[in-house]
Amino acid sequence: MTRAAQDHLVEAAFESVEDVRSAVEAALESGVAASQVEVRSPAPLEEDELPLPKPKSRVLLFALAGAVLGGLTAFGLAAGTALAYPLPTGGMSIVAGPPVGVVTYEGTALGLIIMTVLRVLWEGGLLPGRAIRGGRGRASELDHHVANGRLLLRVHGLSEEQAGRLRGLSRASAVEVV
Amino acid sequence: MTDRPQASARALDGELLGRLDRRRSGLLVGSLASGVLVLVFFYCWGYQIANGIGVTGINRPVFWGFYIINFVFWIGISHAGTLISAILRVTKAEWRRPVTRSAEAITLFALAIGGLFPLIHLGRVAIFYYMIPYPNSRMLWPNFRSPLVWDIAAITTYIIGSALYLFLPLIPDAAVMRDRAAAGLKKRFYAVLALGWRGTAQQWHSLEWGIRILAVAIIPVAVSVHTIVSWDFAMTQTPGWKSTIFGPYFVVGAIFSGIAVLMIAMALLRRGLALDRFLTDRVFNNLGLLFVTMSLVWGYFTFAEHLTVWYSGDLFEKNVHHVLLHGDFAVPFWTMVVVNLVIPVAVLSFPRGRRPLPTALVGCGVLVGMWLERFLIVVPALSTPRLAYSIGDYLPSWVELGIMIGAIGVFACLYFTFTQLLPIVSVWEMREGWRHAAGGGESGQPSGAAPASPAAASPVAGGGAA
């Protein structure tokens, strides 16, 4: 079978999570792989509400890396400026604890915050130029349903027969199917 | 999930979107009125830049006047949002949902204004960058020795953190506005803000992680900011300032004044946007309880601060203490105690006092009281120095007054504009709350909303462009 023949897309908007779950279960039973299924929702869903693989995130890891990076940079700035232009300290240390501590503390927080946000945008495909695999995240003509509180099921890479069957199954409970 | 709660949630959803779509003339009038004050602000500041810092009432020995008072005041107000919102998120308080967006916006705008005051105070604002460490032509690296320079580090971190903490949860709502807007400039504006958000499972999962981490990270940052602002005073030898409890005292005062602004903003929004069924009496009751608690904590800190100064017997400290309690500054001091402690406790201790109007009126009083508190920290200490021959006085000029009043206009203008352009109640967080309540099989009444009226229970058209 050619790639074009396997490239049908079915989209259906539903009122409730139960309806989407039924449609997803039907799709999986008909031989559709979980990686072909995408559900868009107006609010976060619980992890076990749909029979799909749980999304993974490395935001925490990147946040910690950002904190370390930010802390080291801030320490370098505070200590480096003190050493680059030493002020008369009356015998006290040039690189003093309180100022370096305060600046390092703020730098750590800043690094953590910026890296967290960047990673969230990266994982969500929200950064400019970020490639979106398999048509995921692309605009849909049914997106307005999500804006109005409904759920949207999108199944990619279907054969014509699979697409027709899925459309038929979805029509029973969906608000709109394309 | 039963049908009834789901239908109720759908109805509330439609009602909330309808409320946010509708443009209120009151908001426009508010924007225009505050726009006039914005002009006052820039005229006065421009006048000062053109004529020099001599146009203010700042002089020896009172070198810190209205500008530093307002700096501390606005930084305090900024604790309304990010800190309160973050604490409520971390503690998973369900009633936070209609409050967080408004609180976070207050933080960002108050911080932006607060951050301007040290620049205004500099006089020659064009050379503010001398404070930033960079290798200039003589290789003079400014050091981070002074708390005033720590302020730059702390406020920069807080303003970036607050902006991102406001922006991140706003992305899904910007997408809602994008997909409901008719094609045109408005749609493009929301599309830019939404960054291509579609509401996929991965996007929600990453967003929830991000918000959770930011909420935890922003709390120590907020605490550090006002602690460092307090060190501007406490790290000196000036009588009246050298205090070990200034850090927590400032943080408590900041949260207290922040809640005051939040109460006023919530009451205005509830009335102006007819959001009675979302900003419910329960939300005001809970915020009112938090408000009265902070009033008592503030009262305790104030008592502890003044008791130790009085008991110490230190001559110079007692001089400042005397002018505060019995001398030239006694009227503002006791006014502060009444509006910050006596009235809030008297009103907010009773459920009837924790309704929108009384809480907003108490909030107005607390704002006056907290401004007076900052005035009483700055001016009496400087005008009563150790050397008796240098005792001085301070009277603000019209330029300082104009800038102070204009700053309120700048804040109001930013807030009204934000409310007109973006959902001031977080739509997706409300939806999540309704889903939790409906799915949890509680009473069938979605959280964060008042009982559904017959009108609201009727089918609500979800579609339609804004």
Could you give the percent of chain B with pLDDT greater than 70? 87
| Alpha helices by DSSP H, B313-342 | 315-325, 330-337
Residue B466 included in any domain: no
pLDDT band for B357, please (50, 70, 90 cuts). Answer: very high
Q: What is the pLDDT of residue A6?
A: 65
Subunit contact A113:B157, Cβ cutoff 8 A: yes
Q: Which two tokens stand for residue B135?
A: 């290798």
Q: Are residues B413 and B430 in the same domain?
A: no
Answer with the residue of higher pLDDT: B342 or B459. Answer: B342
Enter the ipTM. Answer: 0.90
CATH code (residue B42): 1.20.1630.10
Q: Are residues B452 and B407 in the same domain?
A: no
Q: Are residues B294 and B314 in the same domain?
A: yes
Q: Are residues B317 and B283 in the same domain?
A: yes
Which residues, other chains included, contact B94 with Cβ-Cβ below 8 Å and sequence gap of 6+? B433, B436, B447, B448
Q: Are residues B174 and B226 in the same domain?
A: yes
CB B101 within 8 Å of CB B426: yes
CB of A42 within 8 Å of a chain B CB? The answer is yes
Closest CA to B151 of A106, A81, A68, A101: A106
Report the chain A residue with the minimal C-alpha distance to residue B140: A85
pLDDT higher than threshold 50 for residue B96? yes
Q: Are residues B169 and B212 in the same domain?
A: yes
Q: Are residues B261 and B328 in the same domain?
A: yes
- Between CA B186 and CA B188 the distance in angstroms is 5
Subunit contact A149:B161, Cβ cutoff 8 A: no
Residue B213 included in any domain: yes
Residue B18 included in any domain: no
Residue B140 included in any domain: no
Q: What is the pLDDT of residue B135?
A: 65
Q: Are residues B406 and B434 in the same domain?
A: no
Backbone angles phi, psi at A156, to 5 degrees: -100, 165
Residue B174 included in any domain: yes
Cis bond upstream, residue B61 (ω within 30): yes
Q: Which of A46-50, A127-131, B167-171 has the highest mean pLDDT?
A: B167-171
| Alpha helices by DSSP H, B330-442 | 330-337, 343-348, 356-383, 398-421, 427-439
Q: Are residues B304 and B335 in the same domain?
A: yes
pLDDT tens, B366-382?
A: 999 999 999 999 998 88
Show which of residues 77-116 on chain A sit within 8 Å of chain B, judged by CB atoms.
Answer: 77-78, 80-82, 84-85, 87, 96, 99-100, 102-103, 105-107, 109-110, 112-114, 116
DSSP symbol at B61? T
Q: Which of A2-11, B58-67, B368-377 has the highest mean pLDDT?
A: B368-377
pLDDT tens, B279-335?
A: 888 889 988 999 999 999 999 999 999 998 888 888 888 888 899 999 889 999 999
Which residues, other chains included, contact B180 with Cβ-Cβ below 8 Å and sequence gap of 6+? A144, A147, A148, B17, B21, B464, B465, B466
Residue B14 included in any domain: no
Q: Are residues B83 and B165 in the same domain?
A: yes
Subunit contact A41:B201, Cβ cutoff 8 A: yes
Strand partners, A176: A13
Residue B439's domain comprises: 426-460
CB of A60 within 8 Å of a chain B CB? The answer is yes
Q: Which two tokens stand for residue B454?
A: 């017959």
Kindly indicate whether the domain formed by A3-43+149-177 is annotated with CATH number 3.30.70.2750.
yes
Q: How many domains does chain B have?
A: 2
The domain spans of chain A are 3-43+149-177, 59-123
Torsion-angle region of A6 (φ positive above 0: left; ψ -120 to 50: alpha; else: beta): alpha
CB of B137 within 8 Å of a chain A CB? The answer is no
Could you give the percent of chain A with pLDDT greater than 70? 92
Q: Are residues B448 and B367 in the same domain?
A: no
* Mutation to test the A interface, candidates B12, B143, B230, B427, most A Cβ within 10 Å: B143
Q: Are residues B352 and B432 in the same domain?
A: no
- Between CA B374 and CA B69 the distance in angstroms is 5
